[in-house]
């Protein structure tokens, strides 16, 4: 539990905005390991410390890098200049010792450790307010499920670490993806049971019961459990606290009614809002964007009149005459008070999940109506009522591409899960592409320290 005294110290050193997570005075001094879960305030600090650590600094897995590097790995984002750490994603030249292959593994497993420590500490505690204990346990189970969802989609079979005991975890072999998914579903079902409908303190920056349903809907979709995916997405869409916002420019605002779960902007010096905006929006009136949207494979493939092109992308023509586009879902580079938080899950995805789940069950009219809801919000015409099931499935892929670009790896994961990656990315990536590129390699250092780990196909010597 030693890690948690560090989390408490870290939370205490951040700006006063962090108190929105807690709605209580942040502890000012180190709390002994054995006392972290003996007090409501420090126990809350331990759990909210996970969110703070995910979004406190730039270029972390939990903000910029999962959004943009996963986009580079797919076909919606690229970097402004040659940089080897990013080029290996663009050119599918990843190696077991590639920088971000290792950083992502380290980051997500460190969060898993923190979630496990919270689950262990909260479960053992007898001194917490019962309702608060349930809330914090529910959040911890949700976050562990969230992290493992990304681990299996980035790396495939991974060690399933459910303890803080390093003597156990350092020797664990890789578990089959389906077993990891079983644990993810179990954690989310537990989270649903423990979490309430409301958000702590009213801000949508900590998961609630609806967030658990939303992630369950996604997991069931990935597992081809179409009926269950429809059931869970129904629960989200039918909840009156959420809506598909008509104004595209309000979707990514802090606590918007489309938001299911956001990461609060906590490092707000100088009026900083999200790290995504800091990185994506050009720094001044003459500079170009660092992370750019792919002109050929994304920008030019928007349908005529698609409001997402006008509202969710920015562009600038430089002195060279070249025009570059950037993701402009986040619009506030600097402002006080904070206007935007990092979006983690939102309602539009649930419409797309339900659409696909329905279409896969041959409920074509219902599925098409869900797609039309997203399309009409983007000022696009409704789909032809004569479209067949295969055509509607491709329509789902199309809408997901233009609705969820530069968000949390959706495009890459979609192509992988539907076995469309080679057809779509092969011609773009060129001679380096191979079907095994849909997964990252297991980091070399992890294999060197755990004799029970094996390497993914395509990366073996």
Which whole number is the average pLDDT over 146-160?
98
Residues 16, 55 contacting (CB under 8 angstroms)? no
> Is 276 within a domain?
no
Quick: pLDDT tens for 246-256: 999 999 999 99
**Which pLDDT band holds residue 21 (cuts at 50, 70, 90)?**
low
Residue 10: what pLDDT? 42
Residue 15: what pLDDT? 35
Which whole number is the average pLDDT over 270-280?
94
The enclosing domain of 94 has a CATH number of 1.25.40.390
Does the pLDDT at position 405 exceed 70? Answer: yes
Residues 357, 392 contacting (CB under 8 angstroms)? no
> Is 225 within a domain?
yes
Beta strand ranges found along 318-374 (DSSP E): 323-327, 342-346
> Running DSSP on this structure, what letter comes out for residue 215?
H
Does the pLDDT at position 106 exceed 70? Answer: yes
Half-sphere exposure of residue 71, counting CA atoms within 13 Å on the CB side? 27
Does the pLDDT at position 61 exceed 70? Answer: yes
Helix (H, G, I), strand (E, B) or coil at 39: coil
> Running DSSP on this structure, what letter comes out for residue 258?
T
Average pLDDT, the chain: 92
Does the pLDDT at position 219 exceed 90? Answer: yes
Residue 28: enclosing H or E segment and its boundaries? none
| Percent of the chain scoring above 90 in pLDDT | 89
> Is 323 within a domain?
no
Count of structural domains within the chain: 1
Residues 314, 289 contacting (CB under 8 angstroms)? yes
- State the burial class of residue 69 (Cβ atoms within 10 Å of its Cβ: 0-12, 13-18, 19+): buried
Which whole number is the average pLDDT over 251-273?
95
Does the pLDDT at position 35 exceed 80? Answer: yes
Mention every residue, 6+ apart, whose C-beta is less than 8 A from residue 304.
none
> Is 295 within a domain?
no
Which whole number is the average pLDDT over 187-192?
98
Residue whose C-alpha is closest to residue 347's, from 222, 256, 446: 256
What tokens does 236 get? 């989200």
Beta strand ranges found along 56-151 (DSSP E): 77-79
> Is 374 within a domain?
yes
Does the pLDDT at position 87 exceed 90? Answer: yes
CA–CA separation, 442 and 78 (whole Å): 24
Domain that holds residue 116: 2-264+343-449
> Is 337 within a domain?
no
CA–CA separation, 352 and 375 (whole Å): 11
**pTM for the full predicted model:** 0.94
| Percent of the chain scoring above 70 in pLDDT | 93
> What is the chain's alpha carbon radius of gyration, rounded to the nearest angstrom?
22
Residue 182: what pLDDT? 98
> Is 435 within a domain?
yes
**Which pLDDT band holds residue 33 (cuts at 50, 70, 90)?**
low
Q: Which residue has the higher pLDDT, 58 or 183?
A: 183
Quick: pLDDT tens for 332-358: 999 999 999 999 999 999 999 999 999
Quick: pLDDT tens for 316-327: 999 889 999 999
129-133, 172-176, 280-284, 312-316: least confidently modelled range: 280-284
> Is 126 within a domain?
yes
Residues 228, 234 contacting (CB under 8 angstroms)? no
């Amino acid at each position: 539990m030693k890690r948690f005294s560090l989390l408490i110290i870290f939370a205490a050193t951040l700006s006063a905005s962090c108190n929105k997570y807690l709605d209580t005075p942040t502890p000012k001094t180190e709390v002994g390991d054995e006392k972290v879960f003996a007090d409501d305030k420090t126990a809350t600090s331990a759990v909210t410390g996970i969110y703070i650590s995910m979004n406190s600094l730039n270029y972390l897995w939990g903000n910029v890098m999962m959004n943009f590097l996963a986009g580079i790995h797919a076909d919606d984002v690229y970097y402004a200049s040659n940089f080897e750490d990013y080029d290996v994603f663009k050119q599918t030249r990843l190696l077991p010792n590639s920088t971000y292959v290792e950083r992502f593994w380290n980051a997500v497993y460190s969060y898993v450790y923190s979630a496990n420590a919270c689950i262990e500490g909260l479960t053992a505690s007898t001194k917490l307010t019962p309702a608060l204990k349930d809330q914090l346990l529910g959040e911890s189970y949700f976050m562990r499920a969230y992290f493992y969802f990304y681990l299996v989609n980035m790396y495939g079979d991974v060690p399933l670490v459910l303890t803080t005991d390093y003597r156990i975890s350092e020797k664990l072999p890789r578990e089959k993806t389906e077993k990891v998914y079983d644990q993810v579903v179990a954690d989310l079902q537990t989270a649903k049971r423990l979490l309430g409908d409301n958000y702590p303190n009213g801000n949508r920056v900590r998961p609630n019961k609806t967030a658990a349903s939303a992630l369950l809907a996604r997991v069931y979709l990935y597992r081809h459990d179409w009926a269950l995916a429809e059931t869970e997405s129904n629960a989200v869409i039918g909840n009156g606290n959420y809506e598909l916002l008509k104004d595209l420019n309000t979707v990514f605002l802090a606590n918007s009614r489309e938001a299911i779960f956001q990461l609060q902007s906590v490092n707000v010096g100088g009026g900083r809002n999200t790290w995504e905006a800091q990185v994506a929006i050009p720094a001044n009136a003459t500079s170009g964007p660092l992370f750019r949207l792919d002109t050929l494979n994304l920008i030019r493939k928007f349908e005529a009149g698609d409001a997402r092109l006008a509202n969710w992308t920015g562009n600038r023509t430089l002195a060279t005459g070249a025009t570059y586009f950037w993701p402009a879902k986040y619009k506030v580079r600097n402002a006080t008070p904070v206007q935007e938080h990092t979006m983690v899950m939102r309602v539009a995805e649930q419409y797309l999940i339900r659409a696909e789940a329905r279409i896969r069950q041959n409920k074509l009219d219902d599925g098409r109506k869900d797609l039309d809801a997203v399309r009409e919000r983007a000022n696009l015409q409704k789909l032809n009522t004569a479209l067949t099931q295969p055509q509607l499935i491709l329509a789902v892929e199309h809408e997901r591409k233009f609705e969820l670009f530069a968000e949390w790896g959706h495009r890459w994961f979609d192509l992988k899960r539907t076995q469309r990656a080679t057809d779509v990315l092969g011609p773009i990536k060129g001679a380096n592409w191979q079907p095994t590129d849909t997964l990252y390699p297991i980091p070399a250092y992890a294999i060197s320290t755990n004799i029970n780990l094996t390497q993914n196909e395509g990366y073996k010597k």
